Chain A
Amino acid sequence: KAGVTQTPRYLIKTRGQQVTLSCSPISGHRSVSWYQQTPGQGLQFLFEYFSETQRNKGNFPGRFSGRQFSNSRSEMNVSTLELGDSALYLCASSQILPGQNYGYTFGSGTRLTVV
């Protein structure tokens, strides 16, 4: 079966612009989570969507937002980009509910560079 697909793979944006990243989860997976990976910080949780609702949110400013569509595909948006937003953004999908085993499958990520 197809894995988690993230588009685009690479992106270069200018400070102050906004960006939208896309994630298509594995078919049948209803939970989509987003993580930011930066050197020295590891993976930081951004938010999780389940059935089109944001179920949990990490400690990021309001410039980071997301949404999920009825087909479980998800997008995340970053507005007013800052140099520090340069990172690898990873999407993970799961069909598991809270309290059970974690069946996260990660996509390959979108590498965002802000100049």
Chain B
Amino acid sequence: DQQVKQNSPSLSVQEGRISILNCDYTNSMFDYFLWYKKYPAEGPTFLISISSIKDKNEDGRFTVFLNKSAKHLSLHIVPSQPGDSAVYFCAASYKTGANNLFFGTGTRLTVIP
């Protein structure tokens, strides 16, 4: 049973425009959320995270928004760059639980120059 879902397997965006990647979760016990980026032949790398006590966290061109009532989060990349082309994974965890993450299935972002 997939508790974290990324319903868009792929997304294409023009360079310079905004990329919006979406993620939904079903478990209301999750209270810490992360985004990872993965290039081919490499492991995922941490991008940005957000705690459930916040609704927004920003780091440079990357902003994550959390809507707890809708159990939805999104990652905004502005402006998008060709180097952002990768697979993006959303992940969630229980703050007080063990050190394991529940991942979505990923969204492949292609930024077109």
Contacts and interface: CB of A to CB of B under 8 A. Distances in A.
19 contacts: A4-B43, A33-B99, A42-B106, A43-B44, A45-B102, A48-B98, A56-B98, A56-B100, A90-B43, A96-B99, A99-B95, A101-B49, A102-B34, A104-B101, A106-B36, A106-B43, A108-B42, A108-B43, A109-B43
A98 B96 contact: yes
Contact of A43 (B46, B89, B93): B89
Given A102-B49, A106-B43, 20 more contacts: A4-B43, A31-B99, A42-B6, A43-B44, A43-B101, A45-B100, A45-B102, A56-B97, A56-B98, A90-B43, A97-B99, A98-B98, A101-B49, A102-B34, A102-B46, A102-B101, A104-B101, A106-B36, A106-B44, A109-B43
Interface of B: 2, 4, 6, 32, 34, 36, 41-46, 49, 89, 91, 93, 95-106
Nearest to B96: A99
B8 to A, nearest CB: 13
Interface in A70-104: 90, 92, 94, 96-99, 101-104
A33 B104 CA distance: 17
B78 to A, nearest CB: 25
Contacts of A25: none
Contacts of A98: 96-99
Interface residues of A, number: 31
A91 to B, nearest CB: 8
